[in-house]
Amino acid sequence: MSEEINVEVCYALPNHQARVMLKLAPETTAEQAIVASGVLAKYPEIDLSRNKIGIYAKLCKPDTGLRDGDRVEIYRPLIADPKEVRKQRAAEGKAMKKGAGEADA
């Protein structure tokens, strides 16, 4: 087995994506990789007790061990509840349809 693994740590912002490539020990956890990447210092809004993390879009725990080639992702909290947004869109669509049948004379 190799003495180091290649890992990428990513944090996406609305207009920018922070990506840090690292070479780490094989027994490194997701949390250790995030700390080693320096993104916590650069983006103080990240709180690993609140922000969810994942490996290739699959949620994981901070103590999850990493493999060569893994991409650790730090997720931002949702701005709006997706269910509520769908309800609002559906309500707006129904309101628009009610007036669609009227024709000008």
The tens digit of pLDDT for each residue in 66-105 reads 999 999 999 998 777 778 878 888 888 765 555 555 555 4
Q: Averaged over 30-45, what is the pLDDT?
A: 96
88, 103 in Cβ contact below 8 A? no
Fold of 5-100: Ubiquitin-like (UB roll) (3.10.20)
- CA of residue 35 relative to chain centroid, distance: 16
Residue-level pLDDT at 92: 81
d(CA 45, CA 29): 21
pLDDT at 98: 52
The whole model's pTM is what? 0.74
Mean pLDDT of 5-18: 94
Cα–Cα distances (Å) from 37 to 16, 27, 41, 59, 90, in that order, read 17, 16, 9, 19, 42
What does DSSP assign to residue 56?
A: T
Q: How far does CA 77 lie from the centroid of its chain?
A: 8
Q: Which tokens hold the place of 73?
A: 């992702």
- The ranges assigned to domains in the chain are 5-100
| Higher pLDDT among residues 35 and 101, named by residue | 35
Nearest to 48 by CA among 67, 30, 68: 30
